[in-house]
Amino acid sequence: MSEDNCDIPAPASTGIFIPEEIFLYGVKLNRKEDYADIYAGDGQELRVQLNRNKLVSRNNYSIVAAYGYAYEGYCYRFDRVRLLVVTVSKDEDPVGCGYDFEKASTPAAKAGGAPTSPAPKYRMWRIMADTKMLELATAFNDAKTLILDANLPGVRAPNSYSITVRMAHRGGRMTRD
């Protein structure tokens, strides 16, 4: 990966700047088949496939293991890999943000040596900010961790707490009635 272009996002495909365009970078999981297999623990796999009254071809949608994105001239990395279903954009060769390092020549490659690491097949999707998408959230652990420990105070999502607002009366008296 070239350090020179790690923070340079992809250029506009038409030469016209589109303010709401997001460049999504990741790996297409349904590249070879019409479905994607996701590890479900204990040697099992979860098969994910899009269906609209009939099976949808892999050429018409992507199940993406997303690693990062670019927006308004800046590159960002997700805190964890996100599984997203993209239906509005075709995948293309990645450009910018360090995901196009397959094309970049490393010093070892210039010297005729072996590449330093195998190049993953990253892809890029151009989507608009108001594009509707589906995120698949997966976790594999025991019931204690997934259910009980996840709901301990301080761990659970802030919107799961009860929120009560008290208003002060002009006379200074506070009651819930």
Q: Please write the tens of the pLDDT for every residue from 73-120.
A: 889 999 999 999 999 989 999 988 988 765 544 444 445 554 454 444
CA dist., res. 23 & res. 69, Å (int): 5
pLDDT confidence of residue 108: 45
Dihedral angle, C-alpha 136, 137, 140, 144, nearest 10 °: -140
Average confidence (pLDDT) over 131-135: 92
Band (pLDDT 50/70/90 cuts) for residue 4 is low
- β-pairing, 62-71 with 21-28? antiparallel
- Ranges of each domain in the chain: 3-138
DSSP 74: E
Q: What is the rounded CA–CA span in Å between residue 5 and residue 11?
A: 12
DSSP letter assigned to residue 63: E
Instruction: Give φ, ψ of 81 to 5 degrees.
Output: -65, 135
Q: Quote the pLDDT of residue 58.
A: 86
Neighbours of 166 (CB within 10 A): 8
pTM of the predicted protein model = 0.69
